[in-house]
Structure 1
């Protein structure tokens, strides 16, 4: 059981959710305001994507990230900023020639994937530790070993903590290899991602198996998607982990009730407290996760 829980709020994501919930933030101001509201509700960490202002789909524009980060920092609201570094790995084969990229493909280099990280220097950035069939279509998310090693090397040099996002056991195996190679600063930090088609299923058994493959000194969190968001949060706390909630992973508070990020944070904090634990402050999260800005004492 984890009695001192780091709550992360994944504020908006990149999925096609804006038409399903009017509270999904799109503009930099909306995303920053939602991150601030989540922090005030008890989230220690805000995991941030940005969206194209016209299409409302996920974007990797460094200017949009910079505006969101500046707005959060200028608000004087204390929250650990965690920026996604997962954009730029989408491959969709062409229907005419599967050897060629089709519409929706967005493949860029490791350096390009980290442009906004280098400019904003958040305390945490995500590092998706492998390739995955993403959903039931032809979309493949690609993160190859050379790309991941280069990204890990760069963020370590900048002092940004990589959140090692793992969607199946092979991802943990490669993350552990990067740790052995000295590419990941101690102690490592993992996010066990459950329920994304076609990654690991969202169940207590799956979470435990994946947790048991992590290094002994690792900090970890987990999340489930849609209606399994809160059950998986409770399971993570019971197993000694931290939690992630937010509109990236689930857009409803209850059946048919669109959520706001702060609603989901409030709900998970209530669950943690009913289990006998508490949500830690951002500074306590920095200390617990050994982030830049942790107390030297």
Structure 2
């Protein structure tokens, strides 16, 4: 029997996002969609399980990265044909790319209701992206750096407004979160801010730990007078501990086999992981948000999808 916990946020719907593929291969978890049709099927099943938002990377049929506008357009079109999920796709983030090049996979589609994206994902800082090898504890690489300087952040915030996309502001650590707060003080940004706290498992030390404490360290920096709806996920780590903390604190959760294989749960699919988050939410008297509820909660233009 499941015991419901009394929460001050009882009744507030939980936006559950899905991270369906990232740059993840299918070993050991086979449930990673690559093609537009596979991604659409995961989106449909994810919405049925309680998801309302999707982050996705373009992939080739054999799992390679595909940054083309045609592939991202096909993904959006297929997903919109079978679901109502809000879309927050990756940019074409190749090393050394200009802002225009990063937007080249999404910008051409923004006037097409069937292929447009709802959010522009903006990484609000720089990071050393090298992963640790869990078998040896040593770094698998030593030179991977993701560069998003302040000028790039400002350009992307401006382009989001021009393209009719809601900024989806990601943060790996407190310096990124401080940058988000600084941008909000320096310019008028659409409220509520949508902030995605990306925690890190043991393999990904660039981010705060994938734990309730890791999330709380981020939340402590948020000004009480700034309207923010925040979402927590974990890259290369199990997000469920932080997910419970997020539900308790009135936040939202993103999860997916693309982020982490979840061997401890038997290598589940992303829709199965959504069901795990939905069960946590219901223990606190919070139901998964429908896509329409998510649109209102996150302040996405209700006319943009029509």
The TM tier, using the shorter chain, reads 0.7 to 0.9
Q: How large is the Cα RMSD of the aligned pairs? A: 1.9
Q: Which runs of 5+ in 2 are unaligned?
A: 1-6, 110-115, 131-138
Structure-2 residue corresponding to 1:99: none
Number of equivalenced pairs: 274
Structure-1 residue corresponding to 2:172: 167
Confirm or deny that 1:156 pairs with 2:161. yes
Confirm or deny that 1:239 pairs with 2:249. yes
Structure-2 residue corresponding to 1:97: none
Contact 2:129 2:145 in 1 (8 A): yes
Contact 1:229 1:249 in 2 (8 A): no
C-alpha separation in 1, matches of 2:239 and 2:165: 27
Q: Which runs of 4+ in 1 moved over 6 A?
A: none
C-alpha separation in 1, matches of 2:267 and 2:98: 37
Deviations 1:204-234 (A, max 9, x none): 2221121122243111011224552211111
Contact 2:196 2:230 in 1 (8 A): yes
Stretch of structure 1 that moved more, 180-189 or 36-45: 180-189
Contact 1:86 1:127 in 2 (8 A): no
Pair 12,79 (structure 1): closer, same or farther in 2 beyond 3 Å: same
Deviation at 1:256?
6.4
The structure in which a higher percent of residues are strand is: 1
C-alpha separation in 2, matches of 1:86 and 1:181: 27
Deviation at 1:52?
2.5
C-alpha separation in 2, matches of 1:109 and 1:226: 28
C-alpha separation in 1, matches of 2:264 and 2:123: 30
Structure-2 residue corresponding to 1:32: 40
- Aligned equivalent of 2:227, options 203, 217, 220: 217
Confirm or deny that 1:119 pairs with 2:128. no
C-alpha separation in 1, matches of 2:117 and 2:218: 27
C-alpha separation in 1, matches of 2:256 and 2:265: 16
Pair 174,30 (structure 1): closer, same or farther in 2 beyond 3 Å: same
Structure-2 residue corresponding to 1:205: 213
Deviation at 1:292?
1.4
- Aligned equivalent of 2:196, options 187, 191, 198: 191
Deviation at 1:261?
1.2
Deviations 1:171-227 (A, max 9, x none): 112122222232632221100111132222223222112112224311101122455
Deviation at 1:66?
0.5
Deviation at 1:281?
0.6
Q: Which runs of 5+ in 1 are unaligned?
A: 89-105
Q: Secondary structure at the match of 1:68?
A: helix
C-alpha separation in 2, matches of 1:112 and 1:194: 27
